[in-house]
């Protein structure tokens, strides 16, 4: 990167993460916070959030229709929506935030065995999410690694504050 003819080091755009349970080592890439927002909006458009059912509520002489977010069927539909949203967001994080060599044989074998299932079309996403990520801990570690590169986390802020803080009083 150049600024007025002076060379400046570019930002670190990649890093690695070792998944705690599978032991797989993956390269993670910087993903813009604005791209993350774009991904969330695109998923919301593709997966509409369920609406709570309406119930008639009596207020003295008058009756009014109000939404009932505590309805058991709505709560179940909302839980399914949140799970689907989370899975799709994770897959998009992998698509945009992970680089690795895909084991074509393992992918082909899985596609053959799971032909009746609805699997991701992207081989990278399938390989990482269905073969390399073997536990919730792996999934969380990968998400944290990609998101840590994309937006500040509490841990990253605490590290930076600890590393950069200089006391105002000499000798303190």
Domains of the chain in start order, with CATH, are 9-48+85-157 (3.30.2220)
**Secondary structure E strands in 8-120:** 14-18, 25-29, 54-59, 62-67, 98-99
Task: Dump pLDDT digits (tens) for 36-70.
Answer: 999 999 999 999 999 999 999 988 889 999 999 99
Compute the radius of gyration of the chain from its Cα atoms: 23
What average pLDDT does this structure show over 112-133? 96
Q: What is the pLDDT of residue 60?
A: 87
pLDDT at 72 over 70: yes
Q: What is the pLDDT of residues 146-169, one digit of tens each?
A: 988 555 556 666 766 676 665 556
Mean pLDDT over each residue of the chain, to the nearest integer: 87
Contact 139, 29 (CB under 8 A): no
Coil/strand/helix, residue 29: strand
């Amino acid at each position: 990167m150049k600024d007025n003819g002076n060379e400046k080091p570019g930002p670190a755009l990649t890093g690695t993460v070792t998944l705690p349970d599978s032991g797989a080592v993956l390269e993670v890439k910087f993903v813009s916070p604005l791209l993350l927002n774009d991904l969330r909006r695109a998923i919301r458009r593709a997966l509409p959030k369920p609406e709570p059912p309406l119930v008639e509520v009596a207020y003295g002489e008058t009756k009014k229709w109000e939404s009932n977010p505590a309805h058991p069927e709505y709560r179940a539909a909302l839980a399914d929506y949140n799970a689907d949203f989370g899975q799709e967001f994770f897959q998009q994080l992998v698509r945009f935030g992970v680089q690795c060599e895909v084991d074509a044989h393992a992918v082909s074998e899985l596609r053959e065995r799971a032909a009746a299932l609805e699997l991701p079309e992207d081989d990278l996403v399938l390989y990482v999410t269905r073969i390399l990520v073997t536990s919730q801990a792996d999934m969380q570690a990968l998400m944290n690694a990609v998101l840590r590169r994309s937006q500040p986390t509490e841990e990253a802020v605490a590290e930076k504050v600890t590393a950069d803080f200089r006391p105002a009083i000499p000798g303190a």
